């Protein structure tokens, strides 16, 4: 079942998303425009980071940051899919950085996407002084396949972490309909092109005591990422003494769509659940000290 579902998942992500598709918090934030930077140049590609300045943060004090990673089944998508959510985070007082990463095509696999993800966290921390950021409060946000990238960066121990003393791991995870168990997904194995094992990149099998504090938003009827999958991740983290808050919304599917009968078609996300899910992420950031009011230490 997982093998077939994995194949359908990739088809779905390649088909239903477009550059015009709404992010989970579409339409609810002020239209701040970001500044674009090249965070990495590799194999002839210039990968960009789009920085949204924090609003209402305490003057002169370093702020926390959140890096945002789009979904799209590792084969499609772009950073602007997360711009609306980035504006929400920026309006709450964080520096929000939407990230482009290499998509699987030709010789490029999800391994490269994860390498870019980790490079983005290093880039932000190396430029912490320039952006007035606290390098010890750098969160990662990802939806769908982007959730897998963020979670994998947080739970996997991979060669190269801590290059030049700079960590590539997020300090906190914000996951929206995240792909967390790819151990038996045949299509993911196909994307890897024999360069690794699914298990090596499957977050749920590596979750534990060292997993960063995590907040998950998920639809009860998600046809692509089962509730059991995210519950398994939550249970492993909590059993090991870690922190994982799972927020499940009844009667909705992937990315909180109300169209649960056809999650391969046009998404119809529930606006009330979207707003509540975003509020849950913001509250989680506040409780973990990533968002503070002006004048508060």
Residue 93: CATH number of its domain: 3.40.50.1820
Among the residue ranges 14-18, 90-94, 175-179, the one predicted with the least confidence is 14-18
Band of the pLDDT at 18, cuts 50, 70, 90?
A: very low
64 belongs to a structural domain? yes
Band of the pLDDT at 2, cuts 50, 70, 90?
A: very low
Digit-coded pLDDT (tens) for 182-241: 999 999 999 999 999 999 999 999 999 999 999 999 999 999 999 999 999 999 999 999
Residues 6+ apart with CB under 8 A from 12: 73, 224, 254, 263, 264
230 belongs to a structural domain? yes
Domain tally for the chain? 1
b/e map 31-66, b = 16+ CB within 10 Å: eeebeebebbeeeeeebbbbbbebeebeeeebbbbb
Handedness of CA 26, 69, 62, 242 (dihedral sign): positive
- Report which of 99, 96, 90, 91 is spatially closest to residue 72, judged by C-alpha positions: 99
Strand order through the sheet with 45-52 = 35-42, 45-52, 95-99, 63-69, 133-143, 172-176, 214-219, 244-249
Token code pair at residue 236 = 């492993």
Whether residue 37 contacts residue 100, with contact meaning beta carbons closer than 8 Å, is answered with no
Taking residues 144-171, what's their average pLDDT?
92
Over 60: is that where the pLDDT of 16 sits?
Answer: no
Residues 6+ apart with CB under 8 A from 115: none
Average pLDDT score over the chain: 90
Q: What pLDDT is recorded for position 13?
A: 47
17 belongs to a structural domain? yes
Q: How far apart are CA 285 and CA 291, in angstroms?
A: 6
Q: What pLDDT is recorded for position 81?
A: 97
Band of the pLDDT at 104, cuts 50, 70, 90?
A: very high
Domain containing 157 equals 2-287
Band of the pLDDT at 29, cuts 50, 70, 90?
A: low
Over 90: is that where the pLDDT of 101 sits?
Answer: yes
Q: What pLDDT is recorded for position 131?
A: 96
Over 60: is that where the pLDDT of 76 sits?
Answer: yes
53 Cα distance to chain centroid: 19
228 belongs to a structural domain? yes
294 belongs to a structural domain? no
Over 60: is that where the pLDDT of 21 sits?
Answer: no
Q: How far apart are CA 212 and CA 207, in angstroms?
A: 9
Digit-coded pLDDT (tens) for 33-72: 999 999 999 999 999 999 999 997 666 899 999 999 999 9
Taking residues 67-89, what's their average pLDDT?
97
Band of the pLDDT at 22, cuts 50, 70, 90?
A: very low
Q: What is the pTM of this model?
A: 0.92
293 belongs to a structural domain? no
Q: How far apart are CA 17 and CA 23, in angstroms?
A: 10
Q: How far apart are CA 208 and CA 239, in angstroms?
A: 8
176's enclosing H/E stretch is strand 172-176
Q: How far apart are CA 146 and CA 168, in angstroms?
A: 16
297 belongs to a structural domain? no
Digit-coded pLDDT (tens) for 107-137: 999 999 999 999 999 999 999 999 999 999 9
163 belongs to a structural domain? yes
Q: What pLDDT is recorded for position 11?
A: 43
Q: What pLDDT is recorded for position 159?
A: 78
Band of the pLDDT at 165, cuts 50, 70, 90?
A: confident
Over 80: is that where the pLDDT of 283 sits?
Answer: yes
- What's the DSSP call for residue 68? E
Q: How far apart are CA 222 and CA 227, in angstroms?
A: 7
């Amino acid at each position: 079942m997982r093998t077939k579902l994995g194949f359908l998942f990739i088809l779905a992500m390649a088909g239903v998303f477009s550059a015009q598709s709404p992010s989970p918090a579409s339409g609810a934030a002020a239209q701040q425009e970001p500044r674009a930077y090249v965070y990495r140049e590799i194999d002839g590609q210039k990968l960009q980071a789009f920085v949204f300045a924090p609003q209402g943060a305490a003057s002169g004090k370093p702020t926390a940051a959140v890096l945002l990673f789009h979904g799209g089944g590792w084969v499609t998508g772009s950073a602007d899919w997360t711009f609306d959510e980035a504006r929400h985070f920026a309006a709450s007082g964080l520096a929000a950085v939407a990230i482009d990463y290499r998509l699987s095509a030709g010789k490029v696999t999800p391994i490269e996407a994860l390498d870019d993800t980790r490079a983005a966290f290093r880039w932000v921390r190396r430029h912490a002084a320039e952006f007035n950021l606290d390098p010890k409060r750098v969160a990662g946000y990802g939806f769908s396949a982007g959730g897998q990238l963020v979670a994998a960066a947080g739970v996997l121990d991979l060669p190269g972490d801590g290059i030049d003393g700079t960590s590539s791991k997020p300090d906190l995870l914000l996951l929206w309909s995240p792909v967390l168990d790819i151990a038996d997904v045949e299509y993911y194995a196909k994307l890897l092109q024999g360069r690794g094992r699914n298990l090596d990149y499957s977050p749920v099998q590596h979750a534990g005591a060292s997993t960063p504090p995590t907040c998950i938003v998920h639809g009860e009827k998600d046809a692509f990422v089962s509730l059991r999958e995210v519950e398994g991740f939550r249970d492993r983290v909590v059993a090991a003494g870690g922190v994982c808050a799972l927020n499940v919304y009844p009667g909705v599917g992937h990315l909180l769509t109300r169209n649960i009968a056809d999650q391969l078609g046009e998404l119809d996300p529930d606006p009330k659940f979207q707003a509540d899910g975003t509020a849950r992420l913001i509250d989680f950031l506040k409780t973990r000290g990533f968002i503070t009011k002006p004048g508060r230490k």
